[in-house]
């Protein structure tokens, strides 16, 4: 298929990883931010309807972005290195068959099983939204194949552009559909269906972008005929399916937590004696936590994950001390930023809730959900490290255990504690996943991962930040303002972010927890060096 040269230089790898990281950041930020105006348009019940079905779309996006493109690109690069053109043709022919089969099965199960699934979720009216999402399964094979092909050739630009284009068009469709359908007086389920249609428009645009790139640059490389090697085909199909799904599951930690809530939180609230509309509104308020948590995780992992491409089993054999240092640094950054985002959000949750969602409903529950930022940030970072070290299946198994635990804890806690119980269940399930991953990483490396001094200093910095923010918010509350609205709450929240962040960073960096050469490896690291004690600067 044209030029068989795989990615060979570390410069190519880092450039490619950087392009994909930037694209992932943009799409995740868009994914977090659009939920705020969407909730403002449709209200808490409308937000509940959308969030009930969103995890199914999230699974398809992970399949077509992180799972199968990664394994196809890996297999392509291996074959290209051996310069076996026939094996590459075989790989793509098998990939087409396997992905098409998965797409058809996924579409059929979700489309014709929508009524059954909606009934199991306690809300039969969700069936129409599930049927809209099912259509995206038919697009998934095309997206996965093209992205895997380009990534295998070391060209990350088509994948990156298609991801950003897909998300941008999807967000515009969601907000436009929500606004027009609400204005037209349609039911909130119809509004939810219109919002879910954004998944289809986004997918179509992504396919158009990828086909355009292929037509311009690659169309001459198509083979005139392909002869399938059936002896190799079975093994190849098995590798694509097993490893593709394992990588997907490892990227689904937050989606699975949301999926568990979609399955049983609403029905458990009904069973506890709440009326339908009241339970829907409560679930919608609970779902306000998703954009807040997602944004916090994006900030926390964008820095720690920038170190993951450095980590691989081969490099660990040759340069163990260097790799151990990078692994420790990735974990330190995950803890540093994750703890700051979690504790900071906990402190300003009430004004942030009013600023974003118009009122302070559910602020206590959202404060519990803020724990997910630190836990998820570390899970995502350690999963990336373990995958770099060659462990594809263990993180996936740990996340599936966490999913089952979340479902069970919901059943245990929601009847007594409502959505606060669901929030606690999410935090406990994530803590269990994190525990399993830390044990695995520690046993493999057999080194001390994080020093007690760093953990104590982080706790101290978070404690001081809490005191500063509480005093600051109480001082602002004493101002002679009759009814604090969204503007004043916005000022409280945003100024609190700046004050709390500066307080926390000052203590952490003055505590001599980072060396100059460590900061140099991070995005914006040079800007943070002025916070280091003078004696550690060169």
pLDDT per residue over 197-242, tens digit each?
999 999 999 999 999 988 887 666 655 555 556 666 788 888 888 9
DSSP 167-206: HHHHHHHHHHHHHHHHHTT--HHHHHHHHHHHHHHHHHHH
- Average confidence score pLDDT of the chain: 86
- What pLDDT is recorded for position 244? 86
Cα–Cα dist 420/409, whole Å? 12
Tens digits of pLDDT across the chain (538 residues): 444 444 444 555 556 667 777 888 888 888 888 999 999 999 999 999 999 999 999 999 888 888 888 888 888 877 776 666 676 777 888 888 999 999 999 999 999 999 999 999 999 999 999 999 999 999 999 999 998 888 887 788 888 899 999 999 999 999 999 999 999 999 999 999 999 999 999 999 999 999 998 888 766 665 555 555 666 678 888 888 898 888 888 888 999 999 999 999 999 999 998 898 999 999 999 999 998 888 888 877 766 666 666 676 666 677 788 788 888 888 988 898 899 999 999 999 999 999 999 888 999 999 999 999 999 999 999 998 898 888 889 999 999 999 999 999 999 999 999 999 999 999 999 999 999 999 999 999 888 888 899 999 999 999 999 999 999 999 988 887 756 688 899 999 999 999 999 999 889 888 777 776 666 655 555 555 555 565 554 4
Within 10 angstroms of residue 392's Cβ, the number of other Cβ atoms is 18
The Cα-based distances of 341 to 149, 462, 477 in angstroms read 37, 10, 23
Of the candidates 172, 181, 182, 175, which has an alpha carbon nearest to the alpha carbon of residue 36?
175
Of the candidates 447, 445, 328, which has an alpha carbon nearest to the alpha carbon of residue 389?
445
Helices (H), 389-485: 393-445, 452-477
**For residue 58, what are its two tokens?**
């999230």
- What pLDDT is recorded for position 2? 45
Cα–Cα dist 189/236, whole Å? 43
For residue 285, what is the enclosing H or E element? Answer: helix 276-286
Of the candidates 25, 77, 59, which has an alpha carbon nearest to the alpha carbon of residue 297?
25
Cα torsion at 53, 54, 56, 62 (round to 10°)? 180
Map out the domains of the chain as residue ranges. Answer: 286-392+445-538
Q: Tell me: the pLDDT tens digits for 344-402?
A: 999 999 999 999 998 889 999 999 999 999 999 999 999 988 988 888 899 999 999 99
């Amino acid at each position: 298929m044209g030029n068989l040269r795989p990615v060979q230089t570390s410069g190519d790898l880092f450039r490619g990883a950087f392009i994909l990281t930037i694209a992932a950041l943009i799409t995740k930020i868009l994914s977090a931010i659009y939920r705020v105006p969407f909730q403002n348009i449709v209200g808490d019940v409308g937000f509940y309807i959308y969030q009930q079905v969103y995890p199914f779309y999230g699974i398809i996006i992970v399949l077509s972005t992180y799972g199968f493109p990664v394994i196809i690109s890996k297999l392509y690069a291996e074959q290209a290195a051996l310069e076996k053109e026939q094996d590459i043709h075989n790989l793509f022919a098998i990939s087409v068959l396997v992905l098409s089969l998965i797409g058809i099965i996924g579409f059929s199960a979700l489309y014709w099983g929508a009524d059954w699934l909606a009934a199991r979720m306690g809300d039969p009216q969700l069936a129409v939204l599930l049927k809209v999402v099912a259509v995206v399964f038919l697009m998934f094979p095309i997206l996965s194949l093209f992205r895997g092909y380009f990534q295998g050739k070391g060209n990350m630009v088509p994948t990156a552009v298609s991801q950003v284009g897909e998300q941008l068009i999807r967000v515009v469709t969601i907000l436009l559909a929500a606004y027009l359908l609400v204005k037209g007086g349609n039911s909130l389920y119809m509004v939810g269906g219109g919002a879910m249609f954004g998944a289809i428009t986004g997918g179509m645009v992504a396919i158009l972008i990828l086909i355009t790139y292929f037509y311009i640059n690659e169309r001459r490389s198509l083979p005139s005929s392909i002869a399938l090697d059936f002896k190799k085909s079975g093994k190849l199909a098995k590798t694509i399916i097993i490893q593709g799904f394992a990588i997907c599951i490892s990227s689904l930690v937050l989606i699975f937590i949301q999926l568990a809530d979609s399955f049983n939180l609403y029905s458990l609230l009904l069973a506890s004696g709440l009326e339908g509309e009241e339970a829907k509104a409560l679930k919608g308020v609970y779902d306000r936590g998703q954009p807040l948590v997602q944004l916090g995780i994006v900030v926390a992992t964008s820095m720690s994950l920038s170190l993951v491409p450095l980590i691989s089993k081969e490099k660990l054999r040759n340069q163990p001390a260097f790799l151990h240092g990078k692994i420790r640094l990735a974990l330190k950054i995950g803890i540093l930023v994750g703890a700051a985002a979690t504790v900071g959000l906990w402190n300003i949750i009430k004004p942030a809730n009013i600023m974003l969602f118009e009122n302070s409903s559910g602020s206590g529950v959202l404060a519990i959900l803020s724990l997910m930022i630190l836990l998820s940030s570390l899970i995502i970072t350690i999963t990336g490290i373990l995958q770099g070290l060659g462990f594809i299946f263990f993180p996936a198994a740990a996340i599936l255990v966490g999913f089952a635990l979340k479902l069970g804890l919901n059943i245990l806690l929601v009847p007594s504690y409502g959505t606060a119980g669901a929030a606690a269940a999410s935090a406990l399930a994530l803590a269990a996943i994190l525990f399993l991953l830390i044990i695995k990483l520690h046993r493999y490396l057999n080194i001390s991962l994080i020093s007690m001094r760093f953990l104590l200093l982080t706790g101290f910095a978070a404690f001081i930040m809490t005191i500063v923010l509480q005093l600051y918010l109480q001082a602002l509350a004493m101002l002679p303002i009759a009814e604090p609205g969204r503007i004043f709450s916005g000022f409280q929240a945003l100024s609190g972010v700046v004050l709390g962040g500066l307080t926390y960073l000052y203590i952490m960096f003055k505590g001599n927890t980072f060396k100059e050469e460590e900061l140099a490896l991070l995005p914006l690291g040079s800007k943070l060096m002025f916070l280091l004690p003078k004696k550690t600067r060169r």
